[in-house]
Amino acid sequence: MKRTKYILIVFFIFIFILGLYKPVPAEKTEYLMDTIITISAYGTGAKKATELAFSEIERIDGLLNAFDENSEISKINQNAPYGFYKTTPEVYELIKKAVYISEKTSGAFDITLLPISSLWQIGSESPKVPEANEIKNALFSVGYKNIIFDDESHSIKFAVSGMGIDLGGIAKGYASEKATNILKENGIKNAILDLGGNISVIGRQPLDLVSAVKSGSFYRPFNVGIQDPDGVRGSYKHVYTAESDCFIITSGSYERNFSKDGILYHHIIDPKTGYPALSGVKSATIITDDGTTGDALSTAAFVLGEDSKELILGLCNKVIYIK
């Protein structure tokens, strides 16, 4: 009798301890690429892998930040107006990919908007509404077709004066893809990355014991909330259940903006007008296996609005517009 009681007590303590079991991810948040970046990775080696992924993001930021005069993209902007500039194969391929998306989206995505975004300075401390003639003049220097490529030497030259490249609409997607690869190469099977609206999902979310017993599985798919453009940060309009590895990327007018005389000006520019895009949507979300393309596509889908659905769906798995 005494023995049974003893066994029962041990059994309940065991169950209690198991009940406390909760898979804890290695989690890290940093402000990089002008946004808040969080990586949560589970399993053995997750801490090390997360550190390596962050180093990769830092490396990419160092290459692609147009506002850092020592970055590779700034070197292109400084030299390509005067003739062919030989860049790294990595940056060359990324620029080619960006131009490919421009071609596929009838120029709605265009990395040569730098002369226009420099006028607006949206996201800076002193954004301003440019004069109409300033925009008109700057538009002469915009156009992805004016980037001249030399594949053999991976060199780039600008055909028109005043040109400049800004990879702000694709760089975070590229970084999220590279960081995802680093985690996978380091054996991570379950993780979620958030690079300011660029979400990447690896595998599924490990569950605590109580939830695992309830659901009959130790894992469940990651649920990714899609921001309500009119709500406070963290309030969701949709929840996307990621059944497999994918990127979920949102571009929205709520991200960076300012108001002047009652008008809201945001950071996604329509290359045809030089003004913030007015396509009737407040955000566009892309779900895809290709994080780099997905980032560019979310910007293009925002610029083009709902009418672009068929075109965009030709280049990704799913698109969600929020009006």
Residues in touch with ligand ADP (CB under 6 A):
109-111, 113, 117, 166, 168-169, 172, 196-197, 251, 255-256, 267-269, 271, 295, 298-299, 303
Q: What is the DSSP letter of 276?
A: B
Closest contact distance (angstroms) between CB of 186 and Mg ion is 27
- Residues across the chain: 323
299 near Mg ion (CB under 5 A): yes
Q: Which stretch binds Mg ion (CB under 5 A): 64-72, 73-81, 259-267, 288-296?
A: 288-296
- By beta-carbon proximity to ligand ADP, the closer residue of 206 and 274 is 274
Query: Rg of the chain over CA atoms, in angstroms?
Result: 23
Identify which of 247, 246, 298, 292 has the alpha carbon closest to the alpha carbon of residue 91: 292
Tell me the C-alpha to C-alpha distance, in Å, between residue 124 and each of 16, 65, 169.
Answer: 52, 14, 16
- By beta-carbon proximity to ligand ADP, the closer residue of 1 and 263 is 263
**Which of 226, 298, 303, 320 is the binder for Mg ion (CB under 5 A)?**
298
107 near Mg ion (CB under 5 A): no
Q: What backbone phi and psi angles, to 5 degrees, belong to 170? A: -140, -20
- By beta-carbon proximity to ligand ADP, the closer residue of 303 and 322 is 303
Question: Which partner in Mg ion, ligand ADP, none is near 196 (CB below 5 to 8 A by kind)?
Answer: ligand ADP
- By beta-carbon proximity to ligand ADP, the closer residue of 207 and 281 is 281
200 near Mg ion (CB under 5 A): no
Identify which of 292, 259, 265, 278 has the alpha carbon closest to the alpha carbon of residue 323: 278
Closest contact distance (angstroms) between CB of 235 and ligand ADP is 18
- By beta-carbon proximity to Mg ion, the closer residue of 87 and 105 is 105
Q: Which stretch binds Mg ion (CB under 5 A): 94-102, 113-121, 289-297, 313-321?
A: 289-297
- By beta-carbon proximity to ligand ADP, the closer residue of 79 and 106 is 106
Three-state DSSP class for residue 182: helix
Closest contact distance (angstroms) between CB of 139 and ligand ADP is 13
Q: Is 126 exposed, middle or buried (0-12, 13-18, 19+ CB in 10 A)?
A: exposed
Q: Is 245 exposed, middle or buried (0-12, 13-18, 19+ CB in 10 A)?
A: middle
- By beta-carbon proximity to Mg ion, the closer residue of 25 and 169 is 169
Q: CA dihedral defined by 106, 108, 111, 117, rounded to 10 degrees?
A: 150
Q: Which single residue brings its beta carbon nearest to ligand ADP?
A: 168
x/- map, 220-259, Mg ion, by CB under 5 A: -------------------------------x--------
- Distance separating alpha carbons of residues 149 and 157, to the nearest angstrom: 7
| Contact of 309 with 321, CB cutoff 8 Å | yes
Three-state DSSP class for residue 81: helix
**Site residues for Mg ion per CB under 5 A:** 169, 251, 295, 298-299
